[in-house]
Amino acid sequence: MNNTSIKEQTTHKRISAIVENLIANNSVYQERLEREQMINYIYELFNKPNTVPPVETMEEEDLTERINQILVVHAMAGLLDDFTPEEMAIFDEAVKRK
């Protein structure tokens, strides 16, 4: 096995463990996110050339925070689509007041 595939496997395992832990401990993530899909998406995102900093050099806390931010965006994306017309009107009114 070459160094590239070992690095890729290590990166994938590290991302998988963090995603699994974050989803397991967040009911919104459990409802709205597909675990394997998010693992693959985040792995591809961090595996692009010139990712700064590379996953293998990131501190665990930093990587976890970055992954959590991605999960938040994906979990909240489309949330407004789930609103009834009445809920949307209440939301629109609340946003206008700010």
11-25 residue pLDDT tens: 999 999 999 999 999
- What confidence score (pLDDT) does residue 45 get? 92
Distances (CA, A) of 18 to 1, 7, 12, 27, 43: 25, 17, 10, 16, 11
State the average pLDDT over residues 48-58. 82
Indicate the pLDDT class of residue 98, thresholds 50, 70 and 90: low
Distance CA 14, CA 20 (A): 10
Secondary structure (3-state) at 53: coil
- What confidence score (pLDDT) does residue 3 get? 64
- What confidence score (pLDDT) does residue 2 get? 64
Question: Residue 49, preceding bond cis, omega within 30 degrees?
Answer: no
